[in-house]
Amino acid sequence: MLNRLVSSVKRSGSSKQQFVQRIPADVRGRTAGLTTVVPVGSELVPLRFTEKTTTVRLSLRTSEPREAKMRLATVAAHFEALWNTLRQSRPVRLTHEQATALAGDLYRAWAKERPGERTLVVQYEWDGTSTIDNDGRMEEAEAWQSIAETIREAEAENDLGLIQKMLGPLVDRMLLSKGIRAVDGSSREVVLRAFVKALGDAFENRQRNAGGDYSPDPKAVRFPSSEILSEDADTAPIAATRPAAPSSLTGLVDAWWLEAAKAGRTISTFESYRNTMSRFVAFVKHDNARRVSAADVLAFKDFRLASGISPKTVGDSDIAGLRAVFGWAVVNGLLPSNPAESVRVMRIKARQTRTKALTEDEARALLRQSSAYCNTRESPKLVAAKRWVPWLQVSTTEQFQASWAE
């Protein structure tokens, strides 16, 4: 069942496009109570799952078609990674250094935030109802001092239950953002203590900033790089894995686009590759990237040719798109091999029966037509372009210049 195909639709009464995706059946029972932070354009949008949630619906916050398509791909890749994270069956064990690195991301998210900015931590829930107000309606220095004192009191009391109540949901969101579904009991305690210390340091820094002190924060350098979270298991007891790789064919295209967009590839290329992959999924009747073989790609090529699609389209669009996406997956360690690598489409070279240049009679006929062109329903600029552009093109050829001079 192809349950991870996504779409964007317009919600009734709104011009904004909306992301819509059914939650895969194998993870639906694990989403209840989860909160994730979804990247939508320049915003980070919190989304909470309930027991009744079967379909993800999220505004893409734009009505512009091209931007909506780009945001759709980013959001789809986010949820593909989340679904794969939820499929993890064994809790991960983190070292103290890895827990501190994770807390470092939390520290950086809060220590330098300014009113109006959005960070990984969109809202911080102290008691499940109240949130921090830092929009200028409170005295910032007093607000951050109060928060820092609350954090330090919880740390000093060494009350793990209180810390869990305060920071548990935040820890879960941060772990999910790193591709970790859960950690074991001992790691949970280490992470909670690292988080409460990091938040205390962050809020003290915010308090200093609010009071006019923007000198470098010496505590910022104590956190290891977050890259340590993806250390190999050979160098750590049980290391946290990188965010789970997409296992679906449609997920591969979305993941490819996250990198390709930054490299300057066009949205039209993404649309072409996505359409090709959708046709391929329908042909092979499954959405599992690791089940695809070279024979599947060859059969797909033959099917498309037999359907009347031109060899050029099959070769330059269908097979080239599959080869590019699968090749990217191999380079990034998501697939062991590229099943489309050796697949080629034979083309019959067209026989050239004449030169590409216009004959003198053709050039003169073209110019007569353009000189007489007139259309009252078109703008004067368009009419002028249709009249004079052929003259500019034809008059630059040496053959025409010589003939015209005679």
Model confidence at 227, in pLDDT bands (50, 70, 90)?
Answer: low
290: closest CA among 243, 343, 246?
Answer: 246
- Placement of tokens 């990247």 in the chain: 39
pLDDT exceeds cutoff 90 at 151: no
**How far is 288 from 115, CA to CA, in rounded Å?**
44
373: closest CA among 389, 359, 363, 384?
Answer: 384
Model confidence at 134, in pLDDT bands (50, 70, 90)?
Answer: very low
DSSP code of 318?
A: I
**How far is 106 from 190, CA to CA, in rounded Å?**
15
Model confidence at 128, in pLDDT bands (50, 70, 90)?
Answer: very low
H-helix or E-strand spanning residue 398: helix 398-405
pLDDT digits (tens, 9 = 90+) for 351-392: 777 777 778 888 888 888 888 888 888 888 888 888 888 888
Poorest-pLDDT segment among 51-60, 246-255, 274-283: 246-255
Quote the pLDDT of residue 10: 66
Quote the pLDDT of residue 295: 93
- State how far the alpha carbon of 346 is from the alpha carbons of 60, 313, 316, in Å: 42, 12, 11
Q: Structural domains in the chain?
A: 1-87 (no CATH), 96-234 (no CATH), 245-347 (1.10.150.130), 360-405 (no CATH)
Quote the pLDDT of residue 235: 33
pLDDT exceeds cutoff 80 at 291: yes
Quote the pLDDT of residue 185: 82
Please answer whether residues 323 and 338 qualify as being in contact, where contact means their C-beta atoms are separated by less than 8 angstroms.
Answer: yes
pLDDT exceeds cutoff 60 at 138: no
Task: Report pTM.
Answer: 0.47
pLDDT exceeds cutoff 70 at 228: no
- Integer distance in angstroms from the first to the last C-alpha of the chain? 72
Please answer whether residues 258 and 74 qualify as being in contact, where contact means their C-beta atoms are separated by less than 8 angstroms.
Answer: yes
Q: What single string gives the DSSP state of each residue in 92-143?
A: B---HHHHHHHHHHHHHHHHT--TT---S----BSSSS-B---SSSS-HHHH
Give residues with Cβ within 8 angstroms of 165, minimum separation 6: none
pLDDT digits (tens, 9 = 90+) for 231-249: 543 333 333 344 445 568 8
Model confidence at 259, in pLDDT bands (50, 70, 90)?
Answer: confident
pLDDT exceeds cutoff 80 at 8: no
Exposed (0-12), middle (13-18) or buried (19+): which is 97, by Cβ within 10 Å? middle
Q: What is the mean pLDDT of the chain?
A: 77
Helices (H), 113-230: 140-157, 160-177, 185-210
Exposed (0-12), middle (13-18) or buried (19+): which is 29, by Cβ within 10 Å? exposed
Three-state SS at 35: strand
Quick one: average pLDDT of 132-150? 56
Quick one: average pLDDT of 198-216? 80
Question: 43-48 and 17-22 as β-strands: parallel, antiparallel, unpaired?
Answer: unpaired
Quote the pLDDT of residue 139: 54
